[in-house]
Amino acid sequence: MGTVTQESAKPPRAPAVTRRAVLDAATRLIEQQGVAGLSMRKLAAELGVAVTSIYWHVGNREALLDELVQEMVHGLDTLPARGTTPTARVLSLALELRRVLRGHPHLIGLVNERGLTPAMFLPSQRALVAEISAAGLRGVRAAETVRALQYHVIGFILVERHTDRSPEQHPSAEELWLAEPSSDGDLAEALATPVDADRLFARSTEALVRSLLADQ
């Protein structure tokens, strides 16, 4: 079954809607209102069509989400590793991965819920393996290193997905740190400022990579 149902020639009648159109409209809805904002009826209305047509084209809601997730996962197939040293190359992979995933903030939660995180990571896992082998790691240690990096990167992304839109905690962490009597005023002040996720990710990932590749 190619993209849709008709391979080349004979749709008895021009379909009012295509599988592709359904997927695209669903993507649009999710990007606007989040996964919870995607309802089959809204989707049908958006396309000017009855609900049953949606069901005919994509099965059901779960299958629709599965499809979107699969498409995104396949979009991660070829991530480039740049740089000269293994550390730099591994780091660039991690940064690139985060950059791409942040383009689909609503989907990465679904990916994880479906237990597809390993699958999503598989292509970059290959690249990681190459770099880590080049760095001289072998066998079980190398495998552990690869997985540690995977968990770190995807975990970071999962965390930062929500910490942005914190619901204004009343004693916010920032206020608490400013009130705290501390010996290190600079530290307190630094903890009282919002997180710079880009910088934090780069630093922590680099620290982890260094440690994993270096320590023996």
Partner DNA sequence: ATCCCTGGTGTAACAGTGTTACAGAAGGCT
Partner DNA sequence: AGCCTTCTGTAACACTGTTACACCAGGGAT
Q: Applying CB under 8 A, does 112 fall inside the site for a second copy?
A: yes
Quick one: which of 91, 117, 127, 135 contacts a second copy (CB under 8 A)? 117
Q: What tokens does 51 get?
A: 């609900």
Q: Applying CB under 8 A, does 204 fall inside the site for a second copy?
A: yes
Site map (CB under 7 A) of DNA, residues 38-57, x = contact: xxxxx------xxxxx-xxx
Query: Closest CB to a second copy among 50 and 197?
Result: 197
Quick one: which of 3, 8, 12, 216 contacts DNA (CB under 7 A)? 12
Q: Applying CB under 8 A, does 85 fall inside the site for a second copy?
A: no
Residues 138-197 that bind a second copy (CB under 8 A): 138-140, 142-144, 146-148, 151-152, 154-167, 169, 173, 176, 183-184, 186-187, 190-191, 195
| Nearest approach, Cβ of residue 3 and DNA (Å) | 11
With tokens 């880590």, the residue in question is: 132
Of 119, 130, 68, nearest to 93 (Cα)?
130
Q: Applying CB under 7 A, does 27 fall inside the site for DNA?
A: no
Q: Applying CB under 7 A, does 2 fall inside the site for DNA?
A: no
Stretch that binds a second copy, among 1-9, 76-84, 99-107, 132-140 (CB under 8 A): 132-140
Q: Which residues bind DNA (CB under 7 A)?
A: 4-6, 10-13, 15-17, 38-42, 49-53, 55-57, 60-62
